[in-house]
Amino acid sequence: MRVSVVGVGYVGLVVSACLAAWGHRVTGIEADGERLAALRRGELPFHEPGLAELVGAGNHEGRLDFGSDARLVSASDVVFIAVGTHDASGRWQTDSLVRALQQIVPLIRDDAALAIRSTLPPGVVRDVDGLVSRIRAAAGLPGISVLLNPEFTREGSAVGDFFRPDRVVIGVVRDPDEHGVSLVRALYQTVDAPIVVTSAANAAMIKLGSNLFLATKISFANELAGACEALGASIDEVVAGMAFDPRIGGSFMRPGVGFGGSCLPHQVRMTVLEMAALDVPMPQLAATDDTNQRQPHRFVAQLVAHLGGLARQRIGLLGLAFKPDTDDLREAPALTIAKLLLDEGATVVAYDPMERARRTAQSLLPRLRTRERTSEVFDNADAVGLVTEWPEFTALDWPALAERMRGRLVVDGRNALNPDDVASAGLTYVGFGRPVRSPERGAGVVELRGHDGTPVVPADHEIAAVS
Ligand code: UDX
């Protein structure tokens, strides 16, 4: 089939490259001249595992190309819109969407389908039909099929998520003879997953509800971790035990410095605001946001509690991106943490494997010192904190790195490190909801601390196992 994708940012480029890999003939349409030129050179504007290879193969085999001319959509059976729908401050913005619709809707073939891939604010879903119909009528054209096809891909695993989705959701805005649904179904014919065809309002809420639930799960795990710390339980074992119940499951239950990225924080906050405007209170979702915003402060509080203050302390940070396998710093907890530490007078030295993440962080926080190697973060550090669980950080040579430090503290903001490895290098390990491991007290003996880092049980409290 012939497909156009309007807007080849993160979402649009994944759709374009993956559909091309399935054998469809795809044209990505991009207004940003710099991005377009880079894509034509085979350079991606962000890091996403496997995507550059797919774009390269698509270009090479003639199934994927890029252009700026909106008229390119007129050859397509399905036209995707994948423009951004929120602004730099994390608020909804639909100007780009409306502009894109005004430009391309008159150019879409009468028998083609328009599929909106961008995440829409729920309130806007209702307006799409009228907007598209007015644009078509003003151009003297008949109506077209209009659908929502929300994405559920995660950064860092977007290609795999696209090829092997849990479900494909198609929301019908307007599709009187179901012609549009059959076109979009045909695009996904090789997918081994349920295809959910439903109303546009339901499709938008399936997308939103999924992200809100995932965010809530993480905040719940973070609250539970706080309770575990106070009560002498270990969150790893608690979650493992809970996860045997299939109604609960163990995924998205890893506590730490909180959820970041372009989707979860923004959608939680915006839904609370949007629903408040409709007189629908969402106290639980507001608490999800509140808990999440506390997590970077909890990380900093652990440093303060163990170091006795931050002024003139040298803190090393491992990781800057909001999660591994991306160079995305949007709503990255690392930025909040670095700023809090700098404001308290600490020197902050950070490393992330992604050069682009280091560069962006440096420009956003000029006082931050970025380094090009993991080991440099440890040099003369009073404490080192892990903020992004890049796999390379989970296999560090702790005894060698401990020697480079002047202090003895490691705070694991993602519960990604093995406390035994850290403690056996002579360092004190502090995680989230995990017992503190102090080397001088020996393996298996822990000192438990409350939220503010103060001890809450006798220091010789024994634990059964720390994984
Ligand atoms: C999310 C949704 O997962 C995806 O389905 C949707 O299409 C886009 O939004 P993404 O933002 O890429 O994907 O990342 P995700 O894997 O959901 O992680 C979001 C944040 O939550 C990260 O900062 C991650 O570190 C954090 N997280 C995740 C936790 O703190 N604990 C967990 O248990 C899981």
Same structural domain for residues 188 and 232? no
Strand partners, 86: 92
Give ∠ CA 160-166-167 in degrees, rounded to 5. Answer: 115
Ligand 1 contact via 438 beta carbon (within 6 Å): no
- The CATH number of whichever domain residue 102 belongs to comes to 3.40.50.720
Same structural domain for residues 159 and 239? no
Number of domains composing the chain: 2
Is residue 448 situated within a structural domain?
no
Is residue 208 situated within a structural domain?
no
d(CA 90, CA 355): 24
> Which of 206, 214, 328 to mutate for ligand 1's pocket (most ligand atoms within 8 Å of CB)?
214
Compute, in angstroms, the gap from residue 263 CA to the centroid of ligand 1.
Answer: 8
Same structural domain for residues 423 and 286? yes
Compute, in angstroms, the gap from residue 131 CA to the centroid of ligand 1.
Answer: 32
Same structural domain for residues 172 and 244? no
Same structural domain for residues 97 and 145? yes
Ligand 1 contact via 261 beta carbon (within 6 Å): yes
Same structural domain for residues 74 and 132? yes
- List the one residue out of 158, 115, 166 whose CA is nearest residue 14: 158
Compute, in angstroms, the gap from residue 261 CA to the centroid of ligand 1.
Answer: 7
Is residue 374 situated within a structural domain?
yes
Same structural domain for residues 22 and 132? yes
Same structural domain for residues 304 and 388? yes
Is residue 143 situated within a structural domain?
yes
Residues 62-93: tens digit of each pLDDT: 999 999 999 999 999 999 999 999 888 878 89
Evaluate if pTM is beyond 0.85: yes
CB atoms within 10 A of CB 406: 12
Is residue 204 situated within a structural domain?
no
Here the tokens at position 162 are: 């696209």
Q: Which domain holds residue 324?
A: 227-430
Same structural domain for residues 177 and 241? no
**If you search the block for the tokens 């307006």, which residue do you land on?**
127
Residues 385-439: tens digit of each pLDDT: 999 999 999 999 999 999 999 999 999 999 999 999 999 999 999 999 999 998 8
Active-site entry in 101, 263, 307, 365: 263
Confidence of residue 29 (pLDDT cuts 50, 70, 90): very high
> Which of 85, 154, 266, 432 to mutate for ligand 1's pocket (most ligand atoms within 8 Å of CB)?
154
DSSP string, 117-143: -SPPPHHHHHHHHHHHHHHHHHTT---
Is residue 210 situated within a structural domain?
no
Is residue 370 situated within a structural domain?
yes
Residues 221-273: tens digit of each pLDDT: 999 999 999 999 999 999 999 999 999 999 999 999 999 999 999 999 999 99
Same structural domain for residues 103 and 234? no
Give ∠ CA 267-299-418 in degrees, rounded to 5. Answer: 105
> Do the beta carbons of residue 352 and residue 320 sit within 8 Å?
yes
Which atom in ligand 1 lies closest to the alpha carbon of residue 256? 30
Name the strand (E) or helix (H) holding 209. helix 200-231
Same structural domain for residues 187 and 336? no
Same structural domain for residues 244 and 292? yes
Strand partners, 455: 449
